[in-house]
Amino acid sequence: MLRHLQRVPEQPSLANTARNVLKFTIPSFLAADDTPEQALFRHIDPRIAAQRASTDCLDGLRGVAAFVVMIFHYTQYAYPRLRQVYGFNNRYYLTQLPIIKLCFSGGFMVFLFFVISGYVLSARIVRLMVQEKRGGILKVLTSMTFRRVVRLGLPSLVASFIGFIFHRLGLRGQPYNDYQPGFVNDTVFYLRSLRDLFTFYKWSPYMIWHLDPLWSIAVEFRCSMVLFLVLLGVANVRWIPRLVVEGLILVDNIAHDRWDMACFLFGLIIAEMHIYSQEKANLEEEKQNSVLDIDELAIWLAPNTKLISLSLWATFVVGLYLGSVPTEGTCETPGYRTLCTITRSFPEPWRYIALPGSFLVIFSVVFLPTLQRLLASPLARYMGRLGYAVYLVHELVIMTLGNRIREFGWGIFGKEGMGYHVGFVLGLCIFVAFCVWLADMFMRAVDVPAVSFARWLEGQCFVRSGDSLNVPI
């Protein structure tokens, strides 16, 4: 009879709950269970790695960029001159040198974010166009459009709500002089600040006081939607005319000071060239009889000669130099004042020096195997998986504990001479470690479920036709 007795499920207890909570606080790459984050640190078959490197590297680069933004936001309070560049006002600091400065340059990292987004969101559609499989484009586009709102929205709303709670707890000051505190006023102020987060009716700079980095999420959403519209419009256009049309749209956006949309279009153009070269190389390798088998661009873009490889490395360095442009005193800085004669007509000239720099960097990365392997390493891939969470969480830490962490380091080593720098580095290490820990939990608690929820919601709302789509969101 015992065989037929059903086992009574174990009732949850305070001890089990506490144990599960404690287990959740362990970073994913240290957990005992086999997690996707742990899988990133396992060895990958070289053949598979070679196939994935050209795209995985962009996720790695995006993660690196998110960490640079985090370091920049923490550092700018202690070293405000890092916004300037070597030689400005006859000041010469090693950390201000071009390229070295990029370790603390948050502005250029945002450009890389947007160009990478343009590439990743376009890649699947471009591949279908190049392969002449245009019948599936509409399905992919509708899926990406639907998921994009959920993917960007849920983590942003959760992080901003945490910022709202911090405000209610008195961990932040008042947002403006005439502000009247109180639960109702705080709630109304918070909801009003969110109204422009996902809208096309307002393209002016968006800022939410409860979480500053959300301005870029608003840009991501708007530019993503416009990018999808562009892809839909050129879906039946041949490759060369399609590049011409996309280039004209790019020029028009620059002429109207839409640098953000220009970043996404640069990402699209890189995807066009990269994927086209890949597909034509595959055709040649498979020895298929086609009028497109011989393609000079594909051969030229493949870095299989020293000359082309050196040219791509030079392109990468030039891109880094342009990306090092200072956000302050651009037209008064040696080396950049000449470039500023071209961009001076724009309200923010530095953006149109950094813009081509971001294009050159991403273009070089997708065609240089050495950079691909570096940015597709296990650590870089983990940073890429954590990047969105790091971007959202780090500002919450800064607004609540940033000053305390800096003062802790200076309290040990002092604020005079070398002690100032050593104390700051100590605080920076504590800050980064704490942000990574919180971001890892945020990723598992919010970011990953948001992706799953978007996929589930799509399945509930969409007409079922064929297999589910595996699309970037």
**H helix and E strand count, the chain:** 17, 0
List, in order, residues 6 or more apart from 108 with CB less than 8 Å away. Answer: 102, 323, 324, 325, 354, 357, 358
Length of the chain: 473
User: Helices 137-168 and 183-194, interaxial angle, to 10°?
Assistant: 160
**Are 249 and 100 a contacting pair, CB within 8 Å?**
no
Report pLDDT for 458: 85
Report pLDDT for 469: 47
**Are 356 and 34 a contacting pair, CB within 8 Å?**
no
| CB atoms closer than 10 angstroms to residue 255 | 9
Report pLDDT for 1: 44
| CB atoms closer than 10 angstroms to residue 215 | 16
Report pLDDT for 68: 93
Q: How far apart are CA 251 and CA 255, in angstroms?
A: 6
Low pLDDT (below 50) residues in the chain: 1-5, 8, 41, 43-51, 287-296, 298, 467-469
List, in order, residues 6 or more apart from 288 with CB less than 8 Å away. Answer: none
Q: Where in the chain are the domains?
A: 34-461
List, in order, residues 6 or more apart from 143 with CB less than 8 Å away. Answer: 458, 462, 469, 471
Q: How far is CA 6 from CA 2, 3, 11, 13, 300, in A?
A: 8, 8, 15, 21, 69
**Are 219 and 200 a contacting pair, CB within 8 Å?**
no
The residue to which tokens 């560049």 are assigned? 85
Q: How far apart are CA 353 and CA 364, in angstroms?
A: 17
Q: How far apart are CA 228 and CA 472, in angstroms?
A: 13
pLDDT tens digits, one per residue of 221-266: 999 999 999 999 999 999 999 999 999 999 999 999 999 999 999 9
Q: How far apart are CA 348 and CA 353, in angstroms?
A: 10
Q: How far is CA 419 from CA 404, 422, 424, in A?
A: 17, 5, 8
What is the b/e burial string over 45-78, where b = at least 16 CB atoms within 10 angstroms of the residue's CB?
Answer: eeeeeeeebbbbbbbbbbbbbbbbbbbbbbbeeb
User: How large is the C-alpha radius of gyration of the chain?
Assistant: 24
What the block records as the tokens of 41 is: 């640190």
Q: How far is CA 337 from CA 27, 57, 326, in A?
A: 46, 33, 11
